A and B are shown apart, each in its own frame.
Chain A
Amino acid sequence: MQSPPLDDRMLRALVRAVESPVTAPVILRLMYGDAGIAAMLAVPLEPGETAALDERPLGPDEVQP
């Protein structure tokens, strides 16, 4: 569920909280929900699945003809 828009005072408090190592984990959980990150982190990885070794885009050889 999406959090409602924040007023200035609440937003400033949240920004200060995310900048503190003590309170940051709580704020991250809140923001993670809103940005879909929590759902992304919950996606299971498959055995042997890795990050790309190259930051370049897909090469033509990776696209099947």
Chain B
Amino acid sequence: MITAEALHDQFTSGARTPSEHLERVLDALDDAGRRTPSHAAVRDWDHSGARRAAAAATDRYRAGASLGAFDGIPIVVKDEVDVAGLPTRAGTMYRPDVPAAEDATAVARLRAAGCVVVGKSVQHELGLGATGISPHGQRTPRNPHDPHRAPGGSSSGSAVAVALGAVPVAVASDGGGSVRIPASLCGVWGLKATFGRIPNTGDANLEGTFGHLGPIARSVGAVEQFLRITAGDDGRCPTSRGTPPLDLATLDAARTRSLAGLRIGLDPAEWADADPTIAFVCREALRALEKQGATVHDVALPSARLAPAIGFVTMTVEAARGHAAELAAHRDQMALDVRMALGIGSRIPAVQHQHAQVLRNRLRRQLAQVLGEVHLYASPTVAATAPIVRPRAERAGEADQAVTNDLVRYTFLGNLTGLPALTAPAGVQGHRMPVGLQLMAKPWDEATLLAAAYALERAGFTPPTPAVSVLTDR
């Protein structure tokens, strides 16, 4: 399926125009939504805006005045992220159909780089879930690798649109793994950059100490381009204020950087919690990095096993505070799993929340020590295969805590520490479901993550072909 780089080459050569390609994308996404079970990745469309943007990009390419690698590239944007002219409902069914007045900073920057916004993608309600199962009238976009399984969440539609081949890159966000979990379960790339690297302006759901905007993509090049375009203080986002600029020279070198001397750490006790076939596939991916010069070392991160519980306490309390008014007004219109999470967050005693924050700091200190010994810390992205969508979960919400535990087992670590974390398509399990390898780096060192990702891509680690694809590379 086509990558952003290949599309840019075709637009540049004139083999196809952004306008011609957009019509294929619109048909493909519409077709995906009509299937049974549904793969409906888009909730709200902007046909006319997308056609205008694609026509402008077509004119620029014809005039030899392309804006760059993302000019004319179609994208979808997670529902909770503001897109001017479209409603921001964050996966709810009760928020009014009122269009956002302006684009989120990241969306505005992507548009300025020539991206064509096709529409808003389906997500887990309020971002408070890892399955991507959407009850009420909103249909769950099933996993393209197995229509009986969930796509992962909360950025479910963004991951499905990319995995189906409809768009090469999508805007997503991550408060506990919501970029990395669906990217991993759908077999594509996902990046949660360092906390504050990409401004959250225009995503009210990301207030708090956890939230990150980031890309889900079919290629490492698209992840890198997204980062280059969207990173940097916008003067409006408190978490981005005063953050260091991207080191462009290091980023420029990432694509061809040698892995000689690169030290990767893994904690065997952590890996023991993953499904053995997932751990095996991830270890094989690390072997591919070893063949290119990296070395893998055992490290100890004893508090990592506490990360899901620390994260659950912190996230539910922050979400309960942020959504208190909505919970009071719309509790009967919320999925039961979301209502349960907000209910728990409302009741957690302050002393227990503080206990979690002290342990969060202990975790940060331990990870700082580990990253003094190695350049990257590796784990599986999730601990289990994408869950089957049970009919009653699709009616009311998936509330099986065991399912959630397996999905967030390794991802909360990145949110609790704010460190950059990337999921790579590491291969497939025996029954053809994708497996993601998670790599984490030192603060602001996304370049080393990308260097390892490019090395994996060179070694053939690319998104596996799904059972359902709607747009092939023709």
Chain A contacts of B417 at CB under 8 A?
57-58
**Bound CA–CA A7/B398 (angstroms):** 10
**Known pairs A60-B442, A63-B442; A2 contacts B340 (CB<8 A):** no
* B310 lies within 8 A of A58 (CB): no
Is B443 on the interface with A (CB-CB < 8 A)? yes
Chain A min CB distance to B275 (Å): 16
Chain A contacts of B239 at CB under 8 A?
55-56
Is B148 on the interface with A (CB-CB < 8 A)? no
**Known pairs A15-B340, A18-B340, A49-B358; A62 contacts B309 (CB<8 A):** no
Main secondary structure of the interface of A (DSSP, over half): loop
* B309 lies within 8 A of A35 (CB): yes
A36, A52, A59, A62: which contacts B360 (Cβ < 8 A)?
A: A52
Range of interface residues on A (Cβ < 8 Å): 35 or more
- Chain B residue with Cβ nearest A12: B336
Tell me which residues from 36 to 52 in chain A have a Cβ below 8 Å from any Cβ of chain B: 36-37, 39-41, 43, 45, 49-52
**Bound CA–CA A24/B343 (angstroms):** 9
**Known pairs A19-B343, A40-B309, A63-B372; A57 contacts B418 (CB<8 A):** yes
Chain A min CB distance to B269 (Å): 15
* B419 lies within 8 A of A58 (CB): yes
* B418 lies within 8 A of A56 (CB): yes
Chain B min CB distance to A49 (Å): 5
Chain B contacts of A12 at CB under 8 A?
336, 396
**Bound CA–CA A21/B372 (angstroms):** 46
**Bound CA–CA A35/B337 (angstroms):** 13
**Known pairs A8-B395, A51-B354; A60 contacts B343 (CB<8 A):** no
Is B444 on the interface with A (CB-CB < 8 A)? yes
Which of B308, B371, B401 is packed against the most chain A CB atoms within 10 Å?
Answer: B401
* B336 lies within 8 A of A11 (CB): yes
Is B402 on the interface with A (CB-CB < 8 A)? yes
Chain A contacts of B196 at CB under 8 A?
56-57
Which of B306, B340, B348 is packed against the most chain A CB atoms within 10 Å?
Answer: B340
* A40 lies within 8 A of B360 (CB): no
**Bound CA–CA A25/B344 (angstroms):** 10
**Bound CA–CA A59/B17 (angstroms):** 45
Chain B contacts of A6 at CB under 8 A?
399-400
**Known pairs A11-B399, A24-B347, A40-B313; A50 contacts B361 (CB<8 A):** yes
Chain B contacts of A15 at CB under 8 A?
336, 339-340, 343
Chain A contacts of B347 at CB under 8 A?
18, 21, 24-25, 28
Is B47 on the interface with A (CB-CB < 8 A)? no
**Bound CA–CA A34/B417 (angstroms):** 24
**Known pairs A7-B392, A60-B443; A52 contacts B364 (CB<8 A):** yes
- Chain B residue with Cβ nearest A38: B309
* B352 lies within 8 A of A57 (CB): no
**Bound CA–CA A19/B364 (angstroms):** 33
**Bound CA–CA A2/B209 (angstroms):** 29
Chain B min CB distance to A32 (Å): 8
Known pairs A40-B355, A65-B372; list 18 more (Cβ under 8 Å).
A5-B399, A6-B400, A18-B344, A19-B331, A27-B344, A31-B401, A34-B401, A34-B405, A40-B309, A41-B356, A45-B355, A45-B359, A50-B358, A52-B360, A55-B195, A57-B418, A59-B443, A63-B443
Interface residues of B (CB under 8 A from A): 194-196, 209, 239, 306, 308-310, 312-313, 331, 336, 339-340, 343-344, 346-348, 352, 354-362, 364-365, 367-369, 371-372, 392, 395-396, 399-402, 404-405, 417-419, 442-444
CB-CB nearest 6 A-B residue pairs: A57-B418, A64-B372, A51-B357, A40-B309, A18-B343, A34-B401
9 contacts between A and B (CB under 8 A): A6-B399, A8-B392, A35-B312, A36-B306, A37-B352, A43-B359, A57-B196, A63-B368, A64-B369
